Structure 1
């Protein structure tokens, strides 16, 4: 799982740079200011959580259920949150009705919050020798 977390961190990091550039250049003339701001929010949360996954990927060994749950919460939460925002921002431009994605965004946010809380629990379970390494 450790390798998987680091792979996803790399994918999210690169994807956020590509999508950020796309938003800053290609989509700037296509999307309204509100839609572009939403798109940028998805990018911002994706890059932040790519960095979080990178850090927790190196810190934890993912041998416990608590650590695995934290990793999955960050991975799935970031995917649901950011991807739903990207598609909702582009719905009008794509000529698609994607309103069904609306409830997905807060679900992704809830999973990201869960990941942060599980990170806290994981850190509280660490002993001093683990914190020194």
Structure 2
């Protein structure tokens, strides 16, 4: 199995785990707002989506060894989702991550767009 496949599987697993925590444990934390819960759900969903996409890309003979797409999707997904999760859990300590989240999203998009060419 390739690194891209394993990374995708790890993203999907962490996405499901964080989604389960969001559905059951996060709501009990003091100070959680509907917006915080929604942000958590978005981050968890994107981990699953990107994980499945990386696994699919790893199966394609042309794109499995693409020098940019896989790393960009993985790094972008990690930056995007982890920054949101950190902001939800401890906004005061990780406020600096707010502007970093869109950079992760941009990296993901660039990775997917690179698959077109």
TM-score by length of 1: 0.81
Local SS of the residue matching 1:49:
helix
User: How do 1:27-66 residues align onto structure 2 when only pairs under 5 Å count?
Assistant: 27-30=26-29, 31-59=32-60, 60-62=63-65
In the alignment, what sits opposite 2:111? 115
Q: Which runs of 5+ in 2 are unaligned?
A: none
**Divergent runs of 4+, >6 A:** none
The structure with the larger Rg is: 1
- Once the two structures are superposed, what CA deviation does each residue of 1:87-129 show, in whole Å capped at 9, x if it has no partner? 001115xxx42111112100000001101110111xxxxxxxx
Q: Which runs of 5+ in 1 are unaligned?
A: 122-133
In the alignment, what sits opposite 1:69? 68
Local SS of the residue matching 1:75:
helix
For residues 46 and 86 of structure 2, the distance between their equivalents in structure 1, rounded to whole angstroms, comes to 15
User: How do 1:86-97 residues align onto structure 2 when only pairs under 5 Å count?
Assistant: 86-92=85-91, 96-97=92-93
For residues 61 and 28 of structure 1, the distance between their equivalents in structure 2, rounded to whole angstroms, comes to 39
Local SS of the residue matching 2:27:
coil
For residues 3 and 9 of structure 1, the distance between their equivalents in structure 2, rounded to whole angstroms, comes to 10
Counting matched residue pairs gives 113
In the alignment, what sits opposite 2:78? 79
Local SS of the residue matching 2:22:
helix
TM-score by length of 2: 0.91
